[in-house]
Structure 1
Amino acid sequence: MRRNPITTSYIDENSGVSVALRIAITAEPIPSHVSALDYVIRPALEQGHHITLHAPVMFRREARRRGVEFHGAGTNWTCDPLVQQTASEIWTGLGKARFNRYVFGDLWPEQAEAKARDLLSAWTRARPDLVIAECSDLGAHLAAKVLGLPLLAADNGLGPVLLDLWDTDIAPALLPLYKQYEQDTPVLPRMVTPAPVEWFYPVPPPSARSVRRTVAEFRTVLPGWLDRSPSSSRPLVYVSFGTLTTAMTGLGTVVGSAYREIMAALSAIDCDAIVSAGSLAEHLPSTGPRIKVVEHVPQPALLRHADLFVTHGGRASLLDAVQGTTPVLVMGVLADQPHNAAAFARRGLGRALDLAATRAEIADAITAVLGTPQYAAAMRTADAELSRLPSLDLMDVCRKAGWPPSTGRRSP
């Protein structure tokens, strides 16, 4: 195949036909996870392929914003109050390790059957050429295997957690469902990840491949109300603990306390601050005229203007920081986040603090990062490393999986 520079589709060398793949992309109901998949969605669109997002209905608007077709699959199970309450109680009472085992070893396998059933129905009616599923979308993995579809897992940040729990918790929980569909033992598919593999994997899996990271174009535009005075000499600190932690009642209480400690620390520092707190925003009164509390902002755009990012340490947020060359203060909450915090601190990209840190400890850490140019220099180096990664070529993925078939399709 060779790239057509005008249409951005592909030309089959044998037939001369312009080819567009039908690509099914799947997501699970975590609020930020469609954004976490933009590094596969945007290249697929730019390469002229037809994309359908198969996801719970909570993501219908996200599909529309990206200009892709939407097909409902699975349920909004993370929005269930009982699920949120149970997960929060486990996290607060038994710690992060037991929380991970419950969420990824119990909840996710339990939800796989409904997702697989919906996808089997949809993909039997309209068979895609390639499935790109979140690495944690266990139902999509099964459906693709049953139908013999080429499958690529997109690392959404949870890859290291899944690998850690796969043999002990996840695969055993999935085995009865796989037997129901007469399939072999569950195996985590080969993955692409939008960062150098060694950044987040202590022992890099042989199947993971690093590709260049992109974000949706609308997330790169800074709203007018965020423009600062050109004469302002104060550093800008951006604070966000993501979407999931603020949406879960029990976790929200703990995270709300962390926000308050951070804002109290910021009020004693000569800086401007924007605090993005999702549903908690209405319960967080500003502690000073230089601190603005909002529900949401286009994070990648804002981080290109910020001097420090105080974050929960989700994979996508940390990579937004790298691409904005913004040093971080990471206060990991759950899943992969504490590990990510330690990894970035070791690389000199910022500092890590416990979620229960006091305002005095937070103020000291903020002041230290803002006053140390080496953190920003390390971020610039990391951004250069990120930008050198190869772009994701979907035709190459399909060729390695045995596509195209003997007869291609003309690009629409």
Structure 2
Amino acid sequence: MRVLCTVSGSLGHVHNIVPLTRALSEAGHQVLFLTTDELAARLAREPGQVMAALANTRQRIEPLLTFMRTGQGMTVDEAQRFKDQAYALASVSTGPHLSAAVRGVLPTMKEFAPDVVLRDGAELAGCLIAEQLGVPHVSAPSGAGNILDPYLVSEPLDRRRAELGLPELRDPMSIHRHGRLDCVPARYSFTAHEIPSALVYQQAEPPADQRVLPADIAELPGDRPLVLASVGSELPKAGATIGGGLSLGVADPADTLRALVDAVSTLDCSAVVSTGRLYVDSLQSTESVRVADWVPQPLVLRCADLFITHGGYNGIREALLAGVPMVVLPQFGDQDHNADRVVEFGLGVRLPVATTDPELIAAACRAVLAEPGYTARARHARRRMLALPGIDTAVAWLAALATR
């Protein structure tokens, strides 16, 4: 089977999809990644070919940046609607860059002749390529895909179809017509809209270099709770803007990390704070708080009693698998929605978006650590996660879909 895998967005999107593409390659299937120049170097380390031809982050938001510079290209009302997260995601997922990318890669895609297209959840060029080639397409697990509103993308996606000579479908669920994949049980789904049920499976074990606990963490005392705090891999890179003055509405990541260290320092615990490789000169490890550039997060979570997270889909999934309750400090994207879901499932508490108040963070941590019900519910979620079928189930499902 030949699989075209389309990925855009952040490294988190890559981390969602590569366990499955590795499993596909190990099963003898051929993979071609169609991605952005921002992600191509990372995917070059994976089995399969890589083609960088999708619009990167700045190119996807170029219509808004043009309006901000010149007042041209969209109406004031359209620009204002970008403040609404659902509209912004739908717009950047369906802009004119989509049909331009499809035109540019179609000869190569015809030559590769995929049997199925596996796409990142909010990446829609894969849908149009699959429609051009007459093959099925499915979405991989994705935080952005969880909050993408199919009704908001339906009309602009039909405009892109018209530009490519494809029939307009006028069907919001066309982006899921062949199914979708997820890595959490339906009981703990983080989807924001009524969309078709997913085939669910367990993500594969982390790579070998992430299966050994660092010695300094292993030596932490066992008579106090262990708290892991992380802002993920994307916030340190995002900063406060994406060029052109377009605010992401997030705090300075250095301020967030300082607040986390100050907060956990007041708790009766041992703590590990992962900086996402962002250097902050004032952050120092102490006897009770380890500050690290990077940690093997899934492994540390197995030892943890509490996870302070920015609320990305990957981190939450890893916490569910480890049975660890959470304090969620959302920043942007799907994280605010995910934070609400964590509260709804009784798996933790949430904080205001982008807060940098150490006292507020510490109070939330104490509340979760003091209430055993959070841990009990997290452990129940872990059992449900462990009852999911293995990743080979998803590989077999894709192969069956390709033959239909």
Pair in the same fold by TM > 0.5 = yes
CA contact (8 A) 1:211 1:389 kept: yes
Matched, 1:73 2:52: yes
Give structure 2 stretches of 5+ with no counterpart. 69-78, 241-247
Residue type matched to 1:297 in 2?
V
Matched, 1:167 2:151: yes
In structure 2, relative to structure 1, the CA distance for the partners of 1:177 and 1:238 (3 Å cut) is: same
TM-score (norm 1): 0.80
In structure 2, relative to structure 1, the CA distance for the partners of 1:185 and 1:397 (3 Å cut) is: same
In structure 2, relative to structure 1, the CA distance for the partners of 1:323 and 1:76 (3 Å cut) is: same
Among 176, 180, 185, which residue is 1:196 paired with?
185
Among 168, 192, 197, which residue is 1:185 paired with?
168
CA contact (8 A) 1:119 1:140 kept: no
CA contact (8 A) 1:241 1:311 kept: yes
For 2:341, the equivalent position in structure 1 comes to 343
TM-score (norm 2): 0.81
In the alignment, the residues of structure 1 paired with residue 92 and residue 221 of structure 2 have an alpha-carbon distance, to the nearest angstrom, of: 53
In the alignment, the residues of structure 1 paired with residue 334 and residue 106 of structure 2 have an alpha-carbon distance, to the nearest angstrom, of: 30
For 2:71, the equivalent position in structure 1 comes to none
The equivalences for 1:22-41 within 5 A come to 22-41=2-21
Aligned partner of residue 32 in structure 1, secondary structure: helix
Aligned partner of residue 182 in structure 1, secondary structure: coil
Residue type matched to 1:366 in 2?
C
Among 117, 138, 141, which residue is 1:131 paired with?
117
CA contact (8 A) 1:264 1:287 kept: no
**Structure 1 residue 159: Cα displacement:** 2.6
Matched, 1:242 2:232: yes
Give structure 1 stretches of 5+ with no counterpart. 1-20, 404-412
For 2:28, the equivalent position in structure 1 comes to 48
Aligned partner of residue 195 in structure 1, secondary structure: coil
For 2:312, the equivalent position in structure 1 comes to 314
**Structure 1 residue 96: Cα displacement:** 9.0
In structure 2, relative to structure 1, the CA distance for the partners of 1:72 and 1:97 (3 Å cut) is: same
In structure 2, relative to structure 1, the CA distance for the partners of 1:118 and 1:304 (3 Å cut) is: farther
Among 337, 344, 351, which residue is 1:353 paired with?
351
In structure 2, relative to structure 1, the CA distance for the partners of 1:288 and 1:60 (3 Å cut) is: same
For 1:16, the equivalent position in structure 2 comes to none
In structure 2, relative to structure 1, the CA distance for the partners of 1:202 and 1:126 (3 Å cut) is: closer
For 2:382, the equivalent position in structure 1 comes to 383
Instruction: Give the length in aligned residue pairs.
Output: 375
For 2:395, the equivalent position in structure 1 comes to 394
In the alignment, the residues of structure 1 paired with residue 281 and residue 127 of structure 2 have an alpha-carbon distance, to the nearest angstrom, of: 40
In structure 2, relative to structure 1, the CA distance for the partners of 1:245 and 1:227 (3 Å cut) is: closer
In the alignment, the residues of structure 2 paired with residue 180 and residue 288 of structure 1 have an alpha-carbon distance, to the nearest angstrom, of: 59
**Structure 1 residue 77: Cα displacement:** 1.9
CA contact (8 A) 1:221 1:298 kept: yes
**Structure 1 residue 331: Cα displacement:** 1.5
CA contact (8 A) 1:112 1:137 kept: no
Aligned partner of residue 343 in structure 1, secondary structure: helix
CA contact (8 A) 1:55 1:73 kept: yes
Aligned residues: CA RMSD:
3.2
Aligned partner of residue 21 in structure 2, secondary structure: helix
Matched, 1:120 2:121: no
For 2:327, the equivalent position in structure 1 comes to 329
In structure 2, relative to structure 1, the CA distance for the partners of 1:359 and 1:38 (3 Å cut) is: same
In the alignment, the residues of structure 1 paired with residue 199 and residue 54 of structure 2 have an alpha-carbon distance, to the nearest angstrom, of: 30
Counting aligned pairs with the same residue, the percent is 24
In the alignment, the residues of structure 1 paired with residue 380 and residue 118 of structure 2 have an alpha-carbon distance, to the nearest angstrom, of: 30
